[in-house]
């Protein structure tokens, strides 16, 4: 097809998640004729089976600890139990509401929304599988996200992933979560908080690879203190069924070192891979990388000039806000003649484990490697909330500073509401704040966050 040829649409988006929908709406508002196809439910991973339902489950799981803490503040609280089915039903209702909002907003923006699987059949052609018809588009945007990865081990089919955990019919009595990243520590915390006996088995020496070492160690200790059985350097080899019941009970997990663990449900939280299989991308010449990710340039353009990709399918930074920004930058570049790139550095992020993790910028080891000499400010303390609740869990705050310029390179927090605090810190680091800027800021008292502006004396310097 040539640029002079007439197309059915100016833009066809495959994938109705956060990045794809944002791009579709903005492009339509810019005057483009736009269509979107989603084969499952509009909203994507984040809304349907990711961030949103996870955070709802996080809230639910925290009440057990809240009830215990309340006693220290004079409340006589005797919870009667937890109803898993009520939580799942409430979650389903909210997810349906949000999914409908995505569809409604596409319609308001003037986009055509297909509830169908779409595959690429040419540089400018898409086939709707169920309808069986082919559609032409000047530009195609792939925003299909990722899917959970299961390791290739015997009996892996007996385990579930984060896709299925939200819809379990009953809360299992014993869960083993395999993995050590975001999803693993979050669901180990959730299930433990809801009352399941919980084991976290990770093949590495410490959870949350890539995070600051103090945060990794602190979270491991805190999870263990909360009752999670954390097993490190534990690489699974085989899952075996011991009875005829469903997979919520009666499993044995075998490890490479010869040890075994009798458990109920096994949940794999061993990473995610781009969902490109079967999209037809290879047949039209789109270059794919490791695990099937779409190789793109800094403007999200693939090796086929008419095909772009944003979000987790590119395996750059797999976070919903990044997919949204990439979608917006794509529209600026292609439909507004304003070439735009997304800065993937200094991204504030939170891990909704118990306790919570909030971090922005470089870890201590990353800062040392990139800058050579650094100052480290670190504080561990008992937050006011814990003083009369009988909780011994301590909060960790850590600031990494370049020694020469005194620019703040990274801030890491382990403790309640750390994600909320980190969002504001992201602004400061993006603006190039120095340690002197932190020191000159008046403390908000009484709060845990005031520790960030009252740490005047450095803990140590490196190298």
Name the pairing type of β-strands 236-241 and 349-351: unpaired
Same domain, 137 and 285: yes
Counting the structural domains of the chain, the total is: 3
Same domain, 400 and 443: yes
CATH code of 354's domain:
3.30.390.30
pLDDT tens digits for 291-350?
999 999 999 999 999 999 999 999 999 999 999 999 999 999 999 999 999 999 999 999
Q: Among residues 174, 344, 412, 445, which one is catalytic? A: 445
Query: What per-residue confidence (pLDDT) applies to 285?
Result: 97
Q: Residue 324 corresponds to which tokens in the numbers above?
A: 């949204």
Same domain, 189 and 304: no
139 lies in which domain range?
9-148+273-335
Q: Specify if 344 maps to a domain.
A: no
Tell me the C-alpha distance between 349 and 185, whole Å. 15
Same domain, 266 and 286: no
Same domain, 127 and 42: yes
Same domain, 108 and 36: yes
Q: How far apart are the first and last CA of the chain?
A: 59
Q: Specify if 30 maps to a domain.
A: yes
Q: Residue 10 corresponds to which tokens in the numbers above?
A: 């100016």
Q: Long-range pairs for 281-289 at CB < 8 Å and ≥24 separation? A: 281/120, 281/142, 281/307, 283/120, 283/121, 284/120, 284/121, 284/122, 284/123, 285/123, 286/120, 289/315
Known catalytic membership, residue 344 = no
Q: Closest Cα partner for 423 from 372, 358, 342, 370?
A: 358
Answer with the one of 254, 270, 286 that is the final residue of a domain.
Answer: 270
Answer with the one of 335, 362, 384 that is the final residue of a domain.
Answer: 335
CATH code of 173's domain:
3.50.50.60
Q: Closest Cα partner for 411 from 369, 446, 453, 371?
A: 453
Query: What per-residue confidence (pLDDT) applies to 248?
Result: 55
Same domain, 216 and 167: yes
Q: Specify if 342 maps to a domain.
A: no
Is residue 409 within 8 Å of 344, Cβ to Cβ?
no
pTM, to two decimals: 0.93
pLDDT tens digits for 400-426?
999 999 999 999 999 999 999 999 999
Q: How many residues are listed for the chain in this entry?
A: 463
Q: Which residues of the chain have pLDDT under 50?
A: 1-3
Is residue 86 within 8 Å of 378, Cβ to Cβ?
no
């Amino acid at each position: 097809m040539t640029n002079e040829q007439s197309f059915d649409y100016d833009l066809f988006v495959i994938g109705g998640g956060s990045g794809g929908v944002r791009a579709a709406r903005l492009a339509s508002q810019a005057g483009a004729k736009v269509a979107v196809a989603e084969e499952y439910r509009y909203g994507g991973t984040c809304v349907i089976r990711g961030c949103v339902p996870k955070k709802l489950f996080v809230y639910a799981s925290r009440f057990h600890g809240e009830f215990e803490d309340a006693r220290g503040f004079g409340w006589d609280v005797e919870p009667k139990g937890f109803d898993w089915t009520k939580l799942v039903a409430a979650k389903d209702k909210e997810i349906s509401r949000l999914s409908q909002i995505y569809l409604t907003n596409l319609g308001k923006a003037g986009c055509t929304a297909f509830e169908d699987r779409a595959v690429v059949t040419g540089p400018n052609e898409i086939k709707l599988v169920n309808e069986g018809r082919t559609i032409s588009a000047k530009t195609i945007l792939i925003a299909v996200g990722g899917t959970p990865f299961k390791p290739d081990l015997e009996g892996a089919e007996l385990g579930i992933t984060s896709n299925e955990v939200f819809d379990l019919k009953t809360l299992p009595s014993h869960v083993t979560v395999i993995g050590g990243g975001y999803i693993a520590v979050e669901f180990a915390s959730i299930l433990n908080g809801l009352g399941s006996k919980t084991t976290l088995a990770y093949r590495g020496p410490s959870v949350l690879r890539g995070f600051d070492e103090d945060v990794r160690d602190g979270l491991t200790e805190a999870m263990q203190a909360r009752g999670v059985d954390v097993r490190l350097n534990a690489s699974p080899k085989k899952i075996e069924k011991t009875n005829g019941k469903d997979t919520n009970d009666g499993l044995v997990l075998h490890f490479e070192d010869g040890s075994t663990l009798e458990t109920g449900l096994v949940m794999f939280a061993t990473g995610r891979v781009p969902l490109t299989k079967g999209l037809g991308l290879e047949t039209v010449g789109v270059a794919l990388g490791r695990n099937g990710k779409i190789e793109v340039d800094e403007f999200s353009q693939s090796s086929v000039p008419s095909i772009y990709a944003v979000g987790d399918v590119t395996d750059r930074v797999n976070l919903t806000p990044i997919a949204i920004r990439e979608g917006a930058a794509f529209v600026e570049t292609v439909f507004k003649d304003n070439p735009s790139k997304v800065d993937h550095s200094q991204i504030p992020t939170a891990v909704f484990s118990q306790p919570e993790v909030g971090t922005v910028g470089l870890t201590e080891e990353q800062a040392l490697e990139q800058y050579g000499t650094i100052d480290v400010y670190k504080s561990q303390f008992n937050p006011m909330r814990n003083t009369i609740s009988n909780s011994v869990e301590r909060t960790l705050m850590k600031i990494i500073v370049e020694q020469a310029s005194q620019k703040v390179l990274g801030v890491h927090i382990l403790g309640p509401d750390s994600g909320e605090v980190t969002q504001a810190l992201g602004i400061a680091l993006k603006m190039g704040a120095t340690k002197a800027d932190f020191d000159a800021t008046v403390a908000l008292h009484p709060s845990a966050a005031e520790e960030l502006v009252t740490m005047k004396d450095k803990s140590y310097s490196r190298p």
